[in-house]
């Protein structure tokens, strides 16, 4: 009997199709990476400029080795010039000057110390010479490492690091070669060549000044704070993210820059920029406090805020206008703020304080003038005074949510472990609700008044900056 063989083909994906799918996925991933790099390049062109300038500097320094004529003059010591150009080059002119100064001074001081120690060790004989050299390297390493962590000397950390490196190289080469003076001189002129090339390229090709960046960043921070404050007045439940004020490093770099652009005064008061930024930062903290109050879990009912809406809006608008004018004055380098602006700001704060006193007295009177039956809820009585009939449903929903949240917190307060405590709620729930509402509203208004108080210090700091930097005065003053 013959057997019948049946072949059933299996369904397998063809290899070309799988390979094609993997190729498409890899191409899409590569394209997304290219797009990400392109977006990063468009975001800040300063990165591309800095990278190109570093490349140009290294190319020019490499010509001193690649070409035969300069190599015959400088020799292999030109390698130190290339290393100096790479290590010294920074994104701004001021930072490059600062780093080059630290490297030059560190090399000079370390070279002098190395020569003195080498001559002393040589005069003590061959037995004591390696001991003296080893102990000196240990002491120099300890001293420089400790001093670079000293708070007042942190900005010279790179100089101490270079001093330690140079001292070790010179003292060891002297012990084996015996010519420390020649080693120090070669290292000094190599560092000078690399440093001068870095500064020349950084200043001549699209220079990026730390002073300009500091000036623009401070002005933008003024505008950011003013816009955020106005956002709170018009949209109580909204806020803008404040920018952080990290320009202390820029101020230190700007002090090393020569007079340039519109900052042509010798010894320009960059330190005052730091002080103005510190005062502005404290104002921003108050805006952040307003943000936290706005987004707190327990909020005063909306109808109670309407009683202070106009005063809060006026005070915040006046404060935002003063901050914006200060930023505009710094941007234009002129002083145009008048006393009338400050007076209007102070008057708006006085009206806010008066309205707060009236609202508190009204709320307390409506809460305690009748026990429980004359009015179902003191919040509802105030709502009839402030709102019209179309808003009644919205107010009731908000009050219900508010009472529910407060009730839960009361149960946590009066019971341990957590349990229902209705007996305690009957006598004290109403008073605690009213106290919570008053504190929530008072916290927001007091934070706004604290911001206005800080604005006065901000005006004084900017006025001092205008005098030190010799801003132009407005003819209308």
Tens digit of each residue's pLDDT, the chain (477 residues): 455 555 555 555 555 555 555 565 566 667 666 766 666 666 667 788 888 999 999 999 988 888 888 888 877 778 888 888 988 898 899 999 999 899 889 988 998 898 888 888 888 888 888 899 899 999 999 999 999 888 888 888 889 999 998 898 888 877 777 677 777 788 888 888 988 999 999 999 889 999 898 999 899 889 888 888 876 544 443 333 344 546 778 888 889 988 888 888 888 999 899 889 889 988 888 888 877 777 777 666 666 667 777 887 888 888 889 999 999 999 999 888 888 888 888 888 888 878 777 766 666 665 555 444 443 343 333 333 333 333 344 444 544 554 455 455 444 444 444 444 454 455 566 666 666 666 777 777 778 888 888 999 999 999 999 999 888 876 544
User: Is residue 191 exposed (0-12), middle (13-18) or buried (19+ Cβ within 10 Å)?
Assistant: buried
Sequence-distant (6+) residues with CB within 8 A of 297 are 405
| CA-wise closest residue to 205 among 44, 39, 64, 48 | 48
Nearest residue to 91 (alpha-carbon basis) of 210, 212, 260: 210
Place of tokens 């000036």: 215
Cβ 335 vs Cβ 460: under 8 Å: no
- Structure confidence at residue 164 (pLDDT): 92
Query: What's residue 290's pLDDT?
Result: 79
Q: How far is CA 164 from CA 17, 111, 118, 146, in A?
A: 62, 10, 15, 12
Q: Are 103 and 88 in contact (CB under 8 A)?
A: yes
What is d(CA 230, CA 312) in angstroms, rounded to the nearest whole number? 10
| Whole-number pLDDT of residue 383 | 34
Burial class (CB in 10 A: 0-12, 13-18, 19+), 456: middle
- State how far the Cα of 291 lies from the Cα of 235, in Å rounded to an integer: 11
Structure tokens at 144: 């420089």
Strands (E), 232-297: none
């Amino acid at each position: 009997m013959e057997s019948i063989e049946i072949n059933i083909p299996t369904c397998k994906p063809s290899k070309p199709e799988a390979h094609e799918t993997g190729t498409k996925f890899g191409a899409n991933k590569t394209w997304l990476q290219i797009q990400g790099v392109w977006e990063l390049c468009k975001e800040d062109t300063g990165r591309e400029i800095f990278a190109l300038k570093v490349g140009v500097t290294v190319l020019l320094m490499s010509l001193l080795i690649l070409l035969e004529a300069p190599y015959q003059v400088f020799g292999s010591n030109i390698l130190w010039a290339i290393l100096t150009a790479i290590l010294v080059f920074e994104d701004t002119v001021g930072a490059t000057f600062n780093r080059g100064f630290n490297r030059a001074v560190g090399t000079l001081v370390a070279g002098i110390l190395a020569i003195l120690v080498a001559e002393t060790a040589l005069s003590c004989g061959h037995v004591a010479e390696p001991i003296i050299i080893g102990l000196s390297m240990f002491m120099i390493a300890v001293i420089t490492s400790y001093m670079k962590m000293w708070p007042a000397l942190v900005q010279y950390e790179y100089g101490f690091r270079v001093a330690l490196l140079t001292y070790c190289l010179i003292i060891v080469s002297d012990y084996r070669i015996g010519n420390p003076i020649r080693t120090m001189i070669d290292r000094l002129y190599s560092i000078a060549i690399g440093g001068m090339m870095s500064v020349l390229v950084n200043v001549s090709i699209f220079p990026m000044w730390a002073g300009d960046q500091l000036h623009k960043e401070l002005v933008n921070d003024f505008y950011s704070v003013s816009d955020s404050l106005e956002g709170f007045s018009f949209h109580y439940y909204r806020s803008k993210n404040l920018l952080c004020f990290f320009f202390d490093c820029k101020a230190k770099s700007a002090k090393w820059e020569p007079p340039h652009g519109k900052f042509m005064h010798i010894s320009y008061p960059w330190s005052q920029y730091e002080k103005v930024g510190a005062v502005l930062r404290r104002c921003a903290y108050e805006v952040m406090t307003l943000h936290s109050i706005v987004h707190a879990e327990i909020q005063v009912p909306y109808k109670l805020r309407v009683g202070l809406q106009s005063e809060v809006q006026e005070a915040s608008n006046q404060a935002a206008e003063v901050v914006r004018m200060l930023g505009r004055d710094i941007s234009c380098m002129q002083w145009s703020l008048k006393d009338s602006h400050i007076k209007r700001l102070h008057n708006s704060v006085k009206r806010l304080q008066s309205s707060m006193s009236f609202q508190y007295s009204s709320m307390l009177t409506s809460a305690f003038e009748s026990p429980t039956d004359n009015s179902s809820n003191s919040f509802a009585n105030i709502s009839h005074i402030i709102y019209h009939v179309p808003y009644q449903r919205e107010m009731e929903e908000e009050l219900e949510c508010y009472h529910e949240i407060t009730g839960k917190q009361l149960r946590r307060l009066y019971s341990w472990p957590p349990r229902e405590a209705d007996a305690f709620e009957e006598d004290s729930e109403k008073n605690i609700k009213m106290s919570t509402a008053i504190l929530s509203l008072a916290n927001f208004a007091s934070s706004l008044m604290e911001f206005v108080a800080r604005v006065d210090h901000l005006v004084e700091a900017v006025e001092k900056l205008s005098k030190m930097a010799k801003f132009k005065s407005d003819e209308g003053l």
